Amino acid sequence: MNVIWLQRPEPAGDLVYGEVDSPWGRVWSLWHEDALTQLAFVDSPSDVEARFRRAAKVWRREPEPIPEDDDRLSSLAAILHAWPNQAAVSMPTLEMVGSAFQQRVWRYLLRLDPGQCLTYGEVARHIGQPGAARAVGAAVGANPVPVLVPCHRVLPASGGTGNYGGGERRKRWLLSGEGVGL
């Protein structure tokens, strides 16, 4: 998977958004040129509005709508429907905007195999930051491209699913599809 790592958004280039259906519901996506930079589950029109406002604030401009028949959207839908066996589907380039610490966490998450779950503390130890479980939790929660950067594979040491941005039910669906029972 090709990933562009940035600490700040690049001001130049096309910025577009669109929605696709996934096995877990509607998904909103934000694209900078041909790179996927944000992905979010949509449960209501207010979710779309909030994502749009957040994107405009982060990028300092409003994204434009993408045509529904755009190849980026059809490719994204194919990847999500093939999950977790998406290896046969061409993954888009990801553009991950975040702090150096967040990027260390996200890079580690990309190394996890389907069904491989760790606690926030275990991730902290693996990235050389023992004792930073809460900071790892914040970085996991800030993941701009859930599912493709598998933050759902990180669980609290106390058990349960934690506070997954897409909701507990979706996290359970994702993990169940990878053979993990909670």
Res 88: pLDDT: 59
The residue annotated as part of the active site, out of 42, 55, 145, 151, is 151
Taking only the tens place, the pLDDT of each residue in 19-40 is: 999 999 999 999 999 999 999 9
The string of DSSP letters for 154-177 reads: EE-TTSS----TT-HHHHHHHHHH
Taking only the tens place, the pLDDT of each residue in 87-141 is: 656 789 999 999 999 999 999 999 999 999 999 999 999 999 999 999 999 999 9
Model confidence band, residue 174 (pLDDT cutoffs 50, 70, 90): very high
Residue 144, pLDDT above cutoff 90: yes
Q: Edge-to-edge strands of the sheet including 64-65?
A: 3-6, 93-97, 35-42, 25-32, 15-22, 64-65
Instruction: Return the residue matching tokens 């790892």.
Output: 136
> Which neighbouring-strand residues pair with 42?
26
Q: Report the candidate in 129, 130, 150, 126 with the shortest Cα–Cα distance to residue 140.
A: 150
Model confidence band, residue 162 (pLDDT cutoffs 50, 70, 90): confident
Taking only the tens place, the pLDDT of each residue in 42-51 is: 998 888 888 8
Strand, helix or coil for residue 145? coil
Whole-angstrom distance, CA of residue 31 vs CA of residue 41: 15
DSSP-H helix ranges across the chain: 45-59, 71-82, 100-110, 120-126, 133-141, 168-177
Whole-angstrom distance, CA of residue 108 vs CA of residue 143: 12
Instruction: Return the residue matching tokens 């905007």.
Output: 97
Res 90: pLDDT: 78
* Catalytic-residue membership of 151: yes
CA 139 to chain centre: 11
88, 94, 100, 101: CA torsion to nearest 10: -50
Residue 86, pLDDT above cutoff 80: no
Residue 76: other Cβ atoms inside 10 A: 24
